[in-house]
Structure 1
Amino acid sequence: MSLLQKLPRKPSNALSTLAISTRFFTTQNPNPNAKPNSFPDVPTSAYYDELIHAAGRSRDFETLRQLLNKRLWDGCFNTSKTFNFITNNETGLSILDELPQTLARLDKGLPRKNAYDSLIARLCKLRRIDEALRMIDTMAREGSGPNAYTFLPILDVFTRKKDMEGAWRVMDLMRKYQIPPDKTAYNYILMAYCVAGDLTAAAEVLTKMVGQGLNADSRTYDALVLCACKAGKVEGALVVLRRMIDDGVLVQLSTHMYVIKSLLGLGYYAQAVAYVRCFTGRDTWLDTNLLGCLASKLIESKRFDEAKIVLEEMKEKGLELGNTLSEFYTVNVEDEKD
Structure 2
Amino acid sequence: MRLSLNPLKPTRSAATAAASLCHVSADPKPPSLPPTSPSPSPSPEHSSSSISETLSLLQATDPSSWPTNSKLQTLLSSLSPSSVLKITRQLPNYRNALQFFNHLKTTSQSDSLSLAFQAVLEFAMRESPDSPGKLYELFVQEKEQGTPLSVNAGTLLIKCLSQAKMLDEMIMVFDAIDEEKLNTDVSNLVVAGLLKWGRVNDALKLVNEMLEPDSDYPPNSKTISILFSNILKRNWSDRGVTDEEIYNLVSRFGECGVYLDELWSTQIIKRFCRNGNSDKAWNFLHKAMNSGSVASCNAMLTGLEQDRDFTRMNFLVKEMKEKGIQPNVVTYGILIKHLCKFRRMDEALELLEKMKDGKLGVEPDVVIYNTLIDGLCKVGRQEEGLKLMERMRLESKCNPTTITYNCLIDGFCKAGELEKGHELFEEMSKEGVDVSVVTLNTMLDGMCRHGRVSSAMEFFSCMRQKGLKGNAVTYTILITAFCSANNIDKAMRLFDEMSENGCSPDAFVYYSLISGLTQAGRMDDASVIVSKLKEAGFGLDIVSCNILIGGFCRKNKLDKVSELLKDMEKAGLKPDRVTYNTLLSFFCANGDFTHAQKVMKKMTDDGLKPNVVTYGALIQAYCSNGKLDEAMKIFRDMGTSSKVPPNTVIYNMLIDSLCKNDDVEVALSLMDDMKEKGVRANTTTYNALFKGLQQRNWFEKALEFMDQMTEQACNPDYITMEILTEWLSAVGEIEKLRKFVQGYQVSASTA
TM-score > 0.5, shorter chain as reference? yes
Shift of 1:218: 1.3
1:151 aligns to 2:540 (yes or no): no
User: What stretches of structure 2 of length at least 5 have no aligned partner?
Assistant: 1-341, 343-373, 379-401, 427-438, 737-745
Q: In the alignment, which of 682, 690, 700 is matched to residue 288 of structure 1?
A: 682
SS at match of 1:136: helix
More helix by share: 2
Report the equivalent of 2:578: 184
Report the equivalent of 1:270: 665
What do residues 35-88 of structure 1 show as CA deviations (whole Å, max 9, x unaligned)?
495477993651587266448899x7952624257x6xxxx995674575532x
Report the equivalent of 1:258: 653
Residue 161 and residue 141 in structure 1: after superposition, are their counterparts in 2 closer, same or farther (change >3 A)? closer
Report the equivalent of 2:629: 235
1:224 aligns to 2:631 (yes or no): no
Residue 296 and residue 124 in structure 1: after superposition, are their counterparts in 2 closer, same or farther (change >3 A)? same
Q: In the alignment, which of 505, 517, 521 is matched to residue 123 of structure 1?
A: 517
What do residues 153-197 of structure 1 show as CA deviations (whole Å, max 9, x unaligned)?
222222223333333333223234332222211211110111122
| Distance in structure 2 (CA, Å) of the matches to 1:80 and 1:135 | 16
Residue 65 and residue 320 in structure 1: after superposition, are their counterparts in 2 closer, same or farther (change >3 A)? same
Amino acid at match of 2:521: R
Amino acid at match of 1:221: Y
| Distance in structure 2 (CA, Å) of the matches to 1:169 and 1:307 | 52
What do residues 2-47 of structure 1 show as CA deviations (whole Å, max 9, x unaligned)?
xxxxxxxxxxxxxx9x998946469xx9x79954954779936515
Report the equivalent of 2:526: 132
Report the equivalent of 2:187: none
Residue 49 and residue 312 in structure 1: after superposition, are their counterparts in 2 closer, same or farther (change >3 A)? closer
Equivalences, count: 305
Shift of 1:296: 4.0
| Distance in structure 1 (CA, Å) of the matches to 2:662 and 2:485 | 49
CA contact (8 A) 2:491 2:513 kept: no
CA contact (8 A) 1:123 1:129 kept: yes
Amino acid at match of 1:65: A
Identity over aligned residues, as a percent?
17
SS at match of 1:63: coil
Amino acid at match of 2:596: A
Q: In the alignment, which of 591, 596, 606 is matched to residue 212 of structure 1?
A: 606
CA contact (8 A) 2:577 2:603 kept: yes
Shift of 1:104: 6.3
CA contact (8 A) 1:155 1:185 kept: yes
Shift of 1:221: 0.8
CA contact (8 A) 2:662 2:692 kept: no
Report the equivalent of 2:734: 331
| Distance in structure 1 (CA, Å) of the matches to 2:672 and 2:685 | 8
Moved more, 237-246 or 269-278: 237-246
Residue 77 and residue 137 in structure 1: after superposition, are their counterparts in 2 closer, same or farther (change >3 A)? closer
Residue 337 and residue 192 in structure 1: after superposition, are their counterparts in 2 closer, same or farther (change >3 A)? same
What do residues 95-131 of structure 1 show as CA deviations (whole Å, max 9, x unaligned)?
544445779636xxxxx34333222111223333233
SS at match of 2:488: coil
CA contact (8 A) 1:295 1:311 kept: no
Shift of 1:222: 0.8
Report the equivalent of 1:4: none
1:65 aligns to 2:478 (yes or no): no
| Distance in structure 2 (CA, Å) of the matches to 1:252 and 1:101 | 50
Residue 294 and residue 82 in structure 1: after superposition, are their counterparts in 2 closer, same or farther (change >3 A)? closer
What do residues 221-270 of structure 1 show as CA deviations (whole Å, max 9, x unaligned)?
11111122223221221221122223332423322222112211221012
Report the equivalent of 1:105: 504
Residue 237 and residue 77 in structure 1: after superposition, are their counterparts in 2 closer, same or farther (change >3 A)? farther
| Distance in structure 2 (CA, Å) of the matches to 1:182 and 1:195 | 20
| Distance in structure 2 (CA, Å) of the matches to 1:273 and 1:102 | 64
Report the equivalent of 1:309: 704
Report the equivalent of 1:7: none
CA contact (8 A) 1:291 1:310 kept: no
1:189-200 map, 5 Å: 189-200=583-594
Report the equivalent of 1:164: 558
Report the equivalent of 2:488: 86
Quick check: which has more Rg, 1 or 2?
Answer: 2
Shift of 1:216: 0.8
Residue 291 and residue 168 in structure 1: after superposition, are their counterparts in 2 closer, same or farther (change >3 A)? same
| Distance in structure 1 (CA, Å) of the matches to 2:734 and 2:715 | 14
SS at match of 1:251: coil
CA contact (8 A) 2:667 2:689 kept: no
Give the TM-score taking structure 1 as reference length.
0.70
Moved more, 48-57 or 255-264: 48-57
Amino acid at match of 1:63: G
CA contact (8 A) 1:263 1:272 kept: yes
| Distance in structure 1 (CA, Å) of the matches to 2:571 and 2:485 | 25
| Distance in structure 1 (CA, Å) of the matches to 2:517 and 2:404 | 31
Residue 207 and residue 320 in structure 1: after superposition, are their counterparts in 2 closer, same or farther (change >3 A)? closer
1:279 aligns to 2:674 (yes or no): yes
CA contact (8 A) 1:120 1:150 kept: yes
Residue 103 and residue 282 in structure 1: after superposition, are their counterparts in 2 closer, same or farther (change >3 A)? farther
CA contact (8 A) 2:517 2:526 kept: yes
CA RMSD of aligned residues (A): 4.4
